[in-house]
Amino acid sequence: MNERTLGPWLVFRTSGRLVKVGQYLLGDEQLDAVKALARTIASLPGIPPAPANVRQPKCERATAAAEALLGAKTTSRRDTIDGGIVSCRWATLRKAVFVAGGGPGSEPFISFRNLRDAGTEQSFGNHRVHVGTEGWQQDNGFLAYRVGERTFVDVEVYPMAPEKSASIVALARAMKPAYTR
């Protein structure tokens, strides 16, 4: 594991599944705690294998954009619908991209608000992008946007890919119709 590339999460594969362990890292001891938790999860017996692919029709519209971003055909899909809002995941053996939607109070809502606030203060490398009603992107590629007044969307790539910012915007635009009610 290359600790210089860690965000506030650690993603690893065990028993044929990708597992994400997250914790806001405020010091070395918290990173050690995340690593210990990851080792414990990886050592658990009997983690059932994940289904090969779970696809939602609303995600299909963006598969070509996701594969262009990842640079290869996807080998795994894990799409979900929660409260009528779709989340889509595409992965290869080395990379993954995740598009998640939510309403007020959700993680995408918080991401959008934080990126917008930091961008309007011009204190970070956040900038406006033309996606949805209002979109913001960090210099590392992470993107959050709003569709209408009550739907918020995150687009994340693992590992982060600042050089792929335009492809991340293209994926966000391809997914926008899935969040328009």
CB 154: neighbour CB atoms within 10 A?
23
Domain covering 53-179, topology: Protein Transport Mog1p; Chain A (3.40.1000)
Can you give the pTM of this predicted structure? Answer: 0.72
Angle at 23 between CA 140 and CA 98, to 5 degrees: 45
The boundaries of every CATH 3.40.1000 domain in the chain are 53-179
Over residues 162-172, the mean pLDDT reads 93
Residue among 79, 106, 80, 74 nearest 92 (CA): 74
Would you state the pLDDT for residue 7? 56
Residue among 17, 23, 49 nearest 36 (CA): 23
The enclosing H or E element of 167 equals helix 165-175
169 confidence band (pLDDT: 50, 70, 90): very high
The token duo for 14 is 């065990």
Model confidence over 111-160: pLDDT tens digits? 999 888 887 776 667 889 999 999 999 988 999 999 989 999 999 998 88
1 confidence band (pLDDT: 50, 70, 90): very low
Over residues 14-36, the mean pLDDT reads 69
Residue among 105, 98, 56, 104 nearest 81 (CA): 56
CB 164: neighbour CB atoms within 10 A?
19
Indicate whether 2 pLDDT > 60: no
